[in-house]
Amino acid sequence: MAIPKETVEQILQASHIEEVVGEFVTLKKRGSNLWGNCPFHNEKTPSFSVNPARNIFKCFGCGKAGDSAKFLMEHEHYTYPEALRYLAKKYNIKIEEREQTAEEIMLQTVREKMFNINEFADKYFVDTMWNTEEGRNIGLEYFRERGYLNPIIEKFHLGYNPDSTHWDAFTEHAKKNGYSEELLEQIGLSIKGQKGLYDRYHGRVMFPIHSLTGRVIGFGGRILVNDKKSPKYQNSPESEIYDKKQTLYGIYFAKNAIAKQDECILVEGYFDVLRMHQIGIENVVASSGTSLTIEQIRLVKRYTKNITMLYDGDAAGIHAALRGTDMILAEGMNVRVVVLPPEHDPDTFGKDYSAEYVSNYLKENAKDFVRFKTELLLKDAENDPIKRGQVIRDIVETISVIPDNIFRITYVKECSRLLDMPEQALTNELNKLLRAKYRKELGQEGDVVTETTTPQPKQEDDIEDQLPAGYYQERELVKLLLMYGKETIVDQRIDENNETVYEQVSVAQFIVDDLKMDGFQFTNVVNKKIFDIFDQAIDAGQIPDDQFFVSNEDETIAQLAADLLSSPYKLDQWEKYGIFVKREENMLRTTILSSLFRYKDLIIEERRKDIEEELKSADDLADQLILLKQKKDLDEIRRQINERLGIVIAR
Ligand SMILES: [Zn+2]
pLDDT tens digits for 145-191? 999 999 999 999 999 999 988 899 999 999 999 999 999 999 999 99
Q: Is the pLDDT of residue 559 over 80?
A: yes
What distance in angstroms lies between residue 63's CA and the mean position of ligand 1's atoms? 6
Tell me which residues have their CB within 5 A of the ion that is ligand 1: 38, 40-41, 59, 61-62
CA–CA gap between residue 383 and residue 386 (Å, rounded): 9
What distance in angstroms lies between residue 72's CA and the mean position of ligand 1's atoms? 14
CA–CA gap between residue 247 and residue 249 (Å, rounded): 6
pLDDT at 27: 92
Q: Is the pLDDT of residue 392 over 90?
A: no
Q: Are strands 500-506 and 579-581 parallel, antiparallel or unpaired?
A: unpaired
C-alpha angle 491/494/497, rounded to 5°? 140
Per-chain mean pLDDT for the chain = 83
Mean pLDDT of 133-144: 96
What distance in angstroms lies between residue 58's CA and the mean position of ligand 1's atoms? 8
Q: Largest Cα–Cα distance in the chain?
A: 105
DSSP for 165-204 reads TTS-HHHHHHHHTT--HHHHHHHTSEEEETTEEEETTTTE
What distance in angstroms lies between residue 178's CA and the mean position of ligand 1's atoms? 42
What distance in angstroms lies between residue 139's CA and the mean position of ligand 1's atoms? 45
pLDDT at 105: 61
SS (H, E, C) 545-562: CHHHHHCCCCHHHHHHHH
Between 595 and 441, residue with greater pLDDT: 595
Output the pTM of the full model.
Answer: 0.58
Mean pLDDT of 589-598: 81
pLDDT at 574: 47
What distance in angstroms lies between residue 59's CA and the mean position of ligand 1's atoms? 5
Closest CA to 107 of 79, 135, 131, 127: 79
Beta bridge partners of 311: 339
pLDDT at 99: 59
pLDDT digits (tens, 9 = 90+) for 457-478: 333 333 334 456 677 788 889 9
What distance in angstroms lies between residue 567's CA and the mean position of ligand 1's atoms? 15
Mean pLDDT of 55-84: 87
Highest average pLDDT, of 19-33, 168-182, 221-235, comes from 168-182
Sheet containing 367-368: order of strands = 284-286, 264-267, 306-311, 334-339, 367-368
What distance in angstroms lies between residue 47's CA and the mean position of ligand 1's atoms? 7
Q: Is the pLDDT of residue 494 over 90?
A: no
pLDDT band at 280 (very low <50, low <70, confident <90, very high): very high
pLDDT at 323: 73
Q: Are strands 500-506 and 488-494 parallel, antiparallel or unpaired?
A: antiparallel
Residue 453: phi and psi, rounded to 5, are -115, 140
pLDDT band at 443 (very low <50, low <70, confident <90, very high): low
The b/e string for 42-67 (b: 16+ C-beta within 10 A; e otherwise) is ebeebbbbbbbebbbbbbbbeebbbb
What distance in angstroms lies between residue 37's CA and the mean position of ligand 1's atoms? 8
pLDDT digits (tens, 9 = 90+) for 574-590: 445 444 444 444 677 77
* Percent of the chain residues topping a pLDDT of 70: 87
Between 617 and 178, residue with greater pLDDT: 178
The b/e string for 182-193 (b: 16+ C-beta within 10 A; e otherwise) is ebbbbbbbbbee
pLDDT at 104: 61
Between 599 and 314, residue with greater pLDDT: 599
pLDDT digits (tens, 9 = 90+) for 519-541: 788 888 889 999 999 998 888 88
| Alpha helices, DSSP H, located in 323-470 | 325-330, 346-352, 355-365, 369-381, 385-400, 405-419, 423-442, 460-466
pLDDT at 245: 87
DSSP for 579-590 reads EEESS---HHHH
Q: Is the pLDDT of residue 322 over 90?
A: no
Highest average pLDDT, of 81-90, 142-151, 323-332, 599-608, comes from 142-151
What distance in angstroms lies between residue 508's CA and the mean position of ligand 1's atoms? 32
What distance in angstroms lies between residue 57's CA and the mean position of ligand 1's atoms? 10
Burial of 371 from C-beta contacts in 10 A (0-12 / 13-18 / 19+)? middle
Taking a C-beta distance cutoff of 8 angstroms, is the pair 375, 417 a contact?
Answer: no
What distance in angstroms lies between residue 416's CA and the mean position of ligand 1's atoms? 38
